[in-house]
Amino acid sequence: MLENIEPKRVFYYFEEISKIPRPSYHEKAISDYLVAFAKEHNLEYIQDELFNVIIIKPATLGYEDKPAIVIQGHMDMVCEKTSDCTKDMEKEGLDLVLEGDTLSARGTTLGGDDGIAVAYALALLEDDSLRHPRLEVVITVSEEVGMDGARGIDVSPLKGRIFLNIDSELEGQCLASCAGGGTAKITLPINRAAVSDGKYFRVSVLGGRGGHSGDEINKGRGNATVLLGRVLRAVDAVCDWRLVTIAGGGKDNAIPREASAIIFTSDWEKLSDVIGQQDVAVKTEFSKTDAGLFVDFEETKGIEDPMTKGSTGQALLLISSLPNGIRRMSRDIDGLVETSLNMGITKTSGDRLILGFSIRSSVSTAYEALRERVRFISEGLGAAVEMSGEYPAWEYVAESPLREKMISIYKDMTGNELKVKAIHAGLECGLFAGKMPGLDAVSFGPDIFDIHTPDEHLSVSSVARVYDFIRKIIEEL
DSSP-based three-state secondary structure for 118 = helix
Q: Do 139 and 232 share a domain, yes or no?
A: no
Q: Do 446 and 419 share a domain, yes or no?
A: yes
CATH of the domain at 63: 3.40.630.10
CA nearest to 308, candidates 296, 300, 319, 316: 316
**pLDDT band, very low/low/confident/very high, at 146 (cuts 50, 70, 90):** confident
Determine, yes or no, domain membership for 3. no
DSSP-based three-state secondary structure for 231 = helix
- What DSSP assignment string belongs to 133-180? S-EEEEEES-GGGT-HHHHH---TT----EEEE-----TTEEEEEE-E
Q: Do 12 and 156 share a domain, yes or no?
A: yes
- Calpha distance 472→477 (Å, rounded): 8
Q: Do 43 and 127 share a domain, yes or no?
A: yes
The last residue of one of the domains, among 368, 391, 414, is: 391
3-state helix, strand, coil in the chain (%, to 5): 30, 30, 40
259-265 vs 199-206, strand pairing mode: antiparallel
Q: Do 400 and 383 share a domain, yes or no?
A: no
The pLDDT value given to residue 303 = 87
**pLDDT band, very low/low/confident/very high, at 123 (cuts 50, 70, 90):** very high
* C-alpha 325: how far from chain center: 15
H-helix segments, 385-459: 401-414, 429-435
Q: pLDDT tens digits for 230-281?
A: 999 999 999 999 999 999 998 888 999 999 999 999 999 999 999 999 999 9
The pLDDT value given to residue 31 = 98
Residue 289 C-beta-side C-alpha neighbours within 13 Å: 17
Q: pLDDT tens digits for 57-110?
A: 999 999 999 999 999 999 999 999 998 999 999 999 999 999 999 999 999 999
- Which residues contact residue 285 at a Cβ distance below 8 angstroms, ignoring those fewer than 6 apart? none
What is the arithmetic mean of pLDDT over 386-396?
Answer: 91
Strands (E), 324-438: 325-329, 337-349, 352-361, 384-391, 419-423
The pLDDT value given to residue 236 = 97
- Calpha distance 406→279 (Å, rounded): 50
Q: pLDDT tens digits for 12-65?
A: 999 999 999 999 999 999 999 999 999 999 999 999 999 999 999 999 999 999
Q: Do 352 and 302 share a domain, yes or no?
A: yes
- Calpha distance 454→467 (Å, rounded): 25
Residue type, 348: T
CATH of the domain at 289: 3.30.70.360
- Which residues contact residue 323 at a Cβ distance below 8 angstroms, ignoring those fewer than 6 apart? 341, 370, 373, 374
**What CA–CA distances, in Å, run from 160 to 17, 132, 166, 288, 360?**
26, 13, 16, 46, 29
Determine, yes or no, domain membership for 284. yes
Structural domain span for residue 75? 8-179+393-476
Q: Do 63 and 105 share a domain, yes or no?
A: yes
Q: pLDDT tens digits for 179-232?
A: 999 999 999 999 999 998 899 999 999 999 999 999 899 999 999 999 999 999
- Residues serving a catalytic function are 76, 143
Count of structural domains, the chain: 2
Q: Does the pLDDT value for residue 334 go beyond 90?
A: no
Determine, yes or no, domain membership for 1. no
What is the arithmetic mean of pLDDT over 434-443?
Answer: 96
Q: Do 367 and 340 share a domain, yes or no?
A: yes
- Calpha distance 291→258 (Å, rounded): 14
Identify whether the C-beta of residue 102 lies closer than 8 Å to the C-beta of residue 74: no
User: Quick one: what percent of the chain has pLDDT higher than 90?
Assistant: 93
The pLDDT value given to residue 278 = 98
The last residue of one of the domains, among 346, 369, 391, is: 391
Instruction: For 400, list phi and psi in degrees, rounded to 5.
Output: -140, 95
Average pLDDT for the chain: 96
Q: Do 172 and 217 share a domain, yes or no?
A: no
What is the arithmetic mean of pLDDT over 362-390?
Answer: 96
CA nearest to 328, candidates 421, 424, 251: 424
